[in-house]
Amino acid sequence: MSTHSLSTIKALIGQQFFIGISGLALTPDEKRFIVENNIGGVCLFGRNVSDPKQVRDLCEEIQSLRHQQADKAPLFIGIDMEGGRVHRLKPPFTSWPALRRLGDLDAPAATYAFAYSMGTELKAVGINLDFAPCVDVLTNPANTVIGDRAISEDPEKVARHASALVRGYMKAGVLTCAKHFPGHGNTLIDSHLDLPIENSTLDELNKRELKPFRSALRSRVDMVMTSHIKFPLIDPEWPVTLSKTFIQELLRKELKYTGFVITDDLGMKAMASHFGAEQIPVRALQAGAELLLYCNEPETPPMAIEALIKAYKEGTIEDGLFHRNHRKIVKFKESKLTEPNPLPLEKVLEIVGCPNHQQLAAAIAKGEMPAGVLPE
């Protein structure tokens, strides 16, 4: 253990956390927790959104806290907006069809327009990160967890559209996150409920599931989200989120990925039912994750931070790891989140649910090439 003060260590750790919040505005306790712990990001859900003005005001409120934080760095504000079932923003935001419709249409130019248009609505209200695209290949038709969230069962097609989605969001100024590494398309068990076990070999993953991830990486995706799936033939001990084999050997060394590794929600049953609450965040960082997602249980982030401080005091995590992750995050935010505040309300209302976006979404939902979008 080095001589850094615990408040310094706590600030380093906090920047690596995403937390969920309870309602349509921050509570005094949530504000205090975000400021005092130098929390790096907030994840929004359906419970946090009503109309465009409220979402805009909430994002402005979240970003205003940075001025009181140790790093004064903008916060990541992330949301799950894939289209279809996974669609946190309700009308008057544009209702986007499921990714499956993009695969059926198979026009990457339309897919790019879809991501760009959705991204401009997110950016307008102050959401700077979409936990998308979902680049899982639907290898098991009975998989209802993914289902029409997958573009296709054809890895080449998923790869083509993964690239278009990443580029579209990026053009809109929204950060992207390819999920669920190395692929959730074959599972039957929902990792919200228990830990899925998959018997794929590394060779099988390379031929199929990893193709879209390679494409997303080439398109400079900002983050890759790990899945809570165990692949015993590849790592007999740990699920992907806690696996050095998957994160350091496969993603970093083999695929040469240098962006951020973010976990799926660490409060999900796939984690919580099989591993101790103190063990999970420690092991995730040791395995190579840099951003830890705690979305739904307000008592878990304080416990996780305490667990990491304890690991630091006991010498099971060296503070160099905290420093490296922290430096990478703050540097990235300085270069990528240069305009963190939402647009003025009148501008937001012009962009959200505008006729062009509605027409684009309606055409894709019907399987038609949208007007004004030229095939690539």
Give the Cα separation of 83 and 97 in Å (integer).
5
Give the Cα separation of 76 and 91 in Å (integer).
24
Q: Is 136 an active-site residue?
A: no
Q: Choosing from 4, 192, 274, 323, which is the catalytic residue?
A: 192
Find the angle CA(288)-CA(290)-CA(292) to the nearest 5 degrees.
110
Long-range contact set of residues 211-214: C-beta below 8 Å, sequence gap at least 24: 211/137, 211/155, 211/156, 211/158, 211/159, 212/135, 212/136, 212/137, 212/151, 212/155, 212/158, 212/159, 212/162, 212/178, 213/135, 213/162, 213/178, 213/181, 213/182, 213/183, 213/255, 214/159, 214/255
Q: Tell me the sheet residues that pair with 28.
A: none
Q: Is 274 an active-site residue?
A: no
Query: In 3-state terms, what secondary structure has residue 266?
Result: coil
Q: Choosing from 80, 136, 148, 264, which is the catalytic residue?
A: 264
In 183-263, DSSP assigns E strands to 223-226, 260-263
- Helix H or strand E segment including 7: helix 6-14
Q: Known catalytic residues? A: 192, 264
